Structure 1
Amino acid sequence: MTEVRQSTPHWPGELVGIDDRRRLFVRTAAPRDGSAEPGLFLHGFASTSVDFTDFLHEVRDVVAGDAVDLPGYGFSPPPPDGDYSIGAHARSVAGLIEECGRGPVHLGGNSLGGMIAIRVAANRPELVRSLTLFAPALPDLRAYVRAGLLALPSVPFAGERLLGPLLRRVPAERRVKIRYEHDFHDLSSLTRDRWAEAVAEQERHDALPHADEQFFRTMRGAVADWVRQGRGSLWRDAERLTVPTLVVWGLGDKVLDPRLAVTAARRIPGARLALIPDCGHMPQVEKPAESAREFRALLTPPV
């Protein structure tokens, strides 16, 4: 990890009202150029907007980037109606773009955030200038069955009542290590500061009254989309995308099969594909410079 990555502090943020009931916490990276176009980036499961700290530092020359805590994550309050479905998340993101008046934006998302970004771009293309998908959690039922993601967490109330209390008996530091061992190809790319920040955030999150609700309801919302077939499915949304799209995938992804990247690039019209070696499930975190290079190429294609 370079000195620049080590020294990059998390970007400051504030709560932004979408309407009289919904608010989202948004971090803003100061652009190097006043003419930089707006961007908005969405994190994945069990993550927050800080996942894009180093990536946004790398792309400040081409985009004025924001990273948002999805409803119930990080410093964003839970949705007032308790709806954590992919559709609800997508509506919140679209509402944020409209409220801020910055659209169309360069929209990006990792894992869960990639699912949400696809739905926003498919249903509200006027709000999206380009789309960057970092290992999006597209439907791949065989992989999710193998990973156990369709079992207990997906059963209404079972996750909150059984698995949630059991998980909290495991020290936060241990849970962060387990998660990062799955998400990263090489844990040595994390600095001590980033480790400490992740553990502190996990401890803060555990104390939130809506912590279990947020995690398990979001999981059930994702499962509902993974099993949906035909019109309205996420793959159908991907096939009707009309904006320039980049698919970035780590070849060392332990969460999703990297071969899914090829399928995604084939089914998304005109999509570019970037495969990053020695990289896990979060390319923008583990390989921000390489991810930024591919993102920059999407924005400035060769003449």
Structure 2
Amino acid sequence: MKKFLITLAIIIAVLWGATWHPATGQWVYQATNRLEAMFYGFEKTAVPVGDLTFSVYRREGTEAAAPTLVLLHGYTASKELWLRFANQLDDRYPILIPDLAGHGETGFDPQWSYRPSAQASGLERLLTTLAINKAVMIGNSMGGLIAANFALAFPQRTQALVVIDPAGLTSPIQSRAESLVQQGQSPFEIESWEDFQEFYAMTMAEPPYVPEFVLRGMAARYQERKAQFVQIAEDFRNFDQLDGRLEQLTMPTLVIWGSADQLLDVSSAALWQRQLPNSDLKIFAGVGHMPMVERPAQTAAGVQEFLQGIQQ
């Protein structure tokens, strides 16, 4: 009996220790996302487009006439962040969720351009490959900047636009993150677990529960990809910004912003609405930079109401 208890204690200690290894957290995160995607009816596929291969989640819609919704994540994020939001949308909409170049499973190449216009061109080739003629582009943060650049370059392929706490305009009030970047202390450049904790706390005001060992795995992944993210930031922050260009976007547009956003200040929301000729604005009180993660049902309801309005 004594040997059994000692063996059991060793097994428990080993298992407990394993949960604190970054690789364990990464594996659990990936496995959970795979199961969640399957449960929601999404198929993960790889789509070769020229010199890059997009990793995408895709779900067919039940109504042939319904527009395809293309969901674009933000800087340093990945397609998985959209899953719970996407599951709240009416299943008549076809949905496409890609990992953008340099992110997630799509891969990184130092020779690629990560300018918003280059990312938009890559998405246009992706839609062409998948025989999607027209889409509603929905983007968060950097994804909102890319969605707007897509709409500017390919207005005939953009049925409508939804931007959620988007990047791209000079903000009337600097956010906490923007102030740090100006001081040469980008919160996205993670070198330690402590750095990641500070960064993660800035991303959301109402984050969903994630076990600490999974967060440690995410932190390790950020550290591994720091140099890649630095290169991507140089391109997306310094080119193809939207000041003075939004007036060209005449398609229906919905702007959503979290009032507690620490990465991109909510003061930009009124600028977006004022400069867009055909736009609506929703501000979610107490929400941070990623409403679709913090309040997926509320965000999806707002988007769905907007979609129903443009189809009438």
TM, length-normalised to structure 1: 0.80
Distance of 2:144 and 2:228 partners within structure 1: 18
* 1:33 Cα deviation after fit: 4.9
- Equivalent of residue 79 in structure 2, options 40, 49, 54: 49
CA distance in 1, matches of 2:181, 2:150: 24
Closer/same/farther in 2, CA of residues 251 and 175 from structure 1, 3 Å limit: same
Equivalent position SS for 1:247: strand
Instruction: Say whether 1:117 aligns with 2:138.
Output: no
Determine if contact 2:49/2:122 at 8 Å carries over to the other structure: yes
Equivalent residue number for residue 191 of structure 1: 209
Flag the 1:9–1:85 CA change in 2: closer, same or farther, 3 A: same
| Contact 1:40-1:67 within 8 A present in 2 as well | yes
- How far the C-alpha of 1:217 sits from its partner, in A, is 1.6
Q: Is the 8 A contact 1:153 1:219 kept in 2?
A: no
Match of 1:14 in 2: 45
Change (3 A) 1:131 1:291: same
The alignment yields a C-alpha RMSD, in angstroms, of: 2.9
Q: Which amino acid aligns with 2:46?
A: L
**Deviations along 1:117-159, whole A, 9 cap, x unmatched?**
00000110112111100000122266268522245479xxxx9
SS of the residue 2:54 aligns to: strand
Per-residue deviation at 1:196?
A: 5.7
Match of 2:181 in 1: 149
Structure 1 residue 24 corresponds to structure 2 residue 54: yes
Distance in 2, Cα, partners of 1:8 & 1:286 = 20
1:257-303 C-alpha deviation (Å, 9 max, x unpaired): 21210110110111110111121111111111111111111111186
Residues 70 and 137 in structure 2, CA contact (< 8 A), matched pair in contact too: yes
Identity of aligned residues (%): 22
What does 1:174-253 align with in structure 2 at a 5 Å threshold? 174-187=194-207, 190-192=208-210, 199-204=216-221, 206-207=223-224, 211-225=225-239, 233-253=241-261
In 2, Cα distance between equivalents of 1:98 and 1:7: 26
After alignment, is 213-222 or 49-58 more displaced? 213-222
Pair 237,257 (structure 1): closer, same or farther in 2 beyond 3 Å: same
TM-aligned CA deviation for residue 177 of structure 1: 3.1
Q: Say if 1:107 and 1:246 are closer, same or farther in 2 by CA, change over 3 A.
A: same
TM-score (norm 2): 0.78
2:136 matched to 1:106? yes
Taking structure 1 as reference, are residues 238 and 191 closer, same or farther at Cα in structure 2, changes over 3 Å only?
same
Aligned partner of 2:264 among 256, 261, 265 = 256
Provide Cα deviations, 1:84-110, integer angstroms capped at 9, x if missing partner: 222211111121112111120111100
For structure 1, list consecutive stretches of 5 or more residues without a partner in the other structure. 1-5, 226-231
Query: Residue 138 of structure 2 contacts residue 144 of structure 2 at CA under 8 Å; is this kept in 1?
Result: yes
Deviation at 1:204, TM superposition (A): 4.3
Q: Quick check: 258-267 or 211-220, which moved more?
A: 211-220
Range moving further from structure 2, 125-134 or 145-154 = 145-154
Return the alpha-carbon distance in structure 1 between the equivalents of residues 99 and 34 of structure 2.
22
Equivalent residue number for residue 229 of structure 1: none
Q: Is residue 279 from structure 1 mapped to residue 311 from structure 2 by the alignment? A: no
| Bigger radius of gyration | 2
What is the rounded CA distance, in whole Å, between the counterparts of 1:32 and 1:202 in structure 2? 38
- Aligned residue type for 2:229: F
Check if 1:37 corresponds to 2:67: yes
Q: Is the 8 A contact 2:134 2:158 kept in 1?
A: yes
Aligned counterpart, 1:228: none
Q: 2:164 aligns with which of 134, 137, 152?
A: 134
- 211-220 or 240-249: bigger deviation: 211-220
Q: Tell me, in whole angstroms, the C-alpha distance in 2 between the residues paired with 1:101 and 1:291.
A: 28
Shift of 1:80: 6.6
Farther-moved stretch of structure 1 (87-96 vs 48-57): 87-96
Q: Please give the alpha-carbon distance, in whole angstroms, between the structure 2 residues aligned to 1:153 and 1:72.
A: 22
1:275 partner SS? strand
